[in-house]
A and B are shown apart, each in its own frame.
Chain A
Amino acid sequence: GAGVSQSPRYKVAKRGQDVALRCDPISGHVSLFWYQQALGQGPEFLTYFQNEAQLDKSGLPSDRFFAERPEGSVSTLKIQRTQQEDSAVYLCASSGIRGGFNQPQHFGDGTRLSIL
C-alpha cells in the first residue's frame, strides 16, 4: 500500500502477557519512529531506526520494551510482561528516502493496546 500500515489495529492482553506490534513503513523510507500515545495526550517518542540500525531508544519506558527492524523495512515493537500502564495507542511513522530531520513523518493508524 501507499501508506504506513500497522497491525493489529486493536490488541487486548492480560497483565503479564507478551505482545508484539507490527509496522510496515512506506516502501523505501529510511527512517522509522515508534511513539506511544496515552489517552488525551500527545504522542511521546519511544525509539528510532535508520534502516536496520536502532540509533535512539531513549524513550523506551523500561527494559520490557524491545524494538527491531532486522531488514530495514518492517519493524516490530515487543512488550514483555505487560502491565496496565502499558495501555495506550502505539503509533509508527516513517520518513525520508534519505533520512534527515526536515522531512515530514507519515503516520500509521496505530495499534490500540489494552491491558486487563
Chain B
Amino acid sequence: KQEVTQIPAALSVPEGENLVLNCSFTDSAIYNLQWFRQDPGKGLTSLLLIQSSQREQTSGRLNASLDKSSGRSTLYIAASQPGDSATYLCAVTSRGTSYGKLTFGQGTILTVHP
C-alpha cells in the first residue's frame, strides 16, 4: 500500500527566504506526483504535476523535483512571500490503477511572516 509522508509538518519563515518542502513515498511505481496548495476553508489548487519520466517542473517561483527511484520529491519556493502562506500537499498516482486516484501526504503548513 502506497504511503506518502511530508516533512516538516509545519514551517515558519520570514519573507524573502528560499525554502524546501519534502515529500517521500514508499512505492516507486507511480505515474506522476503532484504538488497542491490548500488555503483555509478551500479546496486544493494544483501547482505542479511531474510525470514519472520527468525529473522536475517549474512554474514561476516554484520548482518541484522528482527522484522516483528513491521515492522522494521536493518543492522549492524562491523568495517566499506572505501570500505563499498555506498548506502544501503532495500526492502520487500509483501504478496498478488506471483511474488516477491520488494518495496524499498529510501536508506541510507554511507560514511566511512579513
Residues of A within 8 A of B (CB): 4, 31, 33, 35, 40-45, 48, 50, 55-56, 59, 91, 93, 95-96, 99-110, 112
| Distance A102 CA – B30 CA, assembled complex (angstroms) | 11
Q: How would you classify the secondary structure of chain B's contact residues: helix, strand, loop or mixed?
A: strand
Distance (whole angstroms) from the CB of A111 to the closest CB of chain B = 10
A55 to B101, CA, bound (A): 11
Q: How far is the CB of B6 from chain A (nearest CB, A)?
A: 8
Verify A33–B51 contact, CB threshold 8 A: no
> How many pairs, one residue from A and one from B, have CB atoms within 8 Å of each other in the complex?
72
> A102-B51, A103-B100, A104-B34 given as contacts; is B43 within 8 A of A42 (CB)?
no
Contacts of A35 in B (CB 8 A): 102
Is residue B71 within 8 Å, beta carbon to beta carbon, of the partner chain? no
Find chain A residues with CB under 8 A from B101 CB: 33, 45, 48, 56, 59
User: Which residues from B are CB-within-8-Å of A56?
Assistant: 97, 99, 101
Most chain A Cβ neighbours within 10 Å, of B43, B93, B99, B102:
B43
B85 on interface, CB distance cutoff 8 Å? no
Can you name 10 extra interface pairs (CB under 8 A) apart from A42-B4, A99-B100, A112-B41?
A42-B106, A45-B103, A101-B98, A104-B34, A104-B46, A105-B100, A107-B36, A109-B43, A110-B42, A110-B43
In the complex, chain A residues whose CB is within 8 Å of the CB of B49: 102, 104
B31 beta carbon closer than 8 Å to chain A: yes
Quick check: B107 and A42 within 8 Å, CB to CB?
yes
Knowing A42-B4, A107-B43, the reply to whether A55 touches B100 (Cβ < 8 A) is: no
Collect the chain B residues with CB atoms within 8 Å of residue A95's CB: 100
Within 8 A of A (CB), among B30-82: 31-32, 34, 36, 41-46, 49, 51
Assess the A101–B97 pair: CB atoms within 8 A. Answer: yes
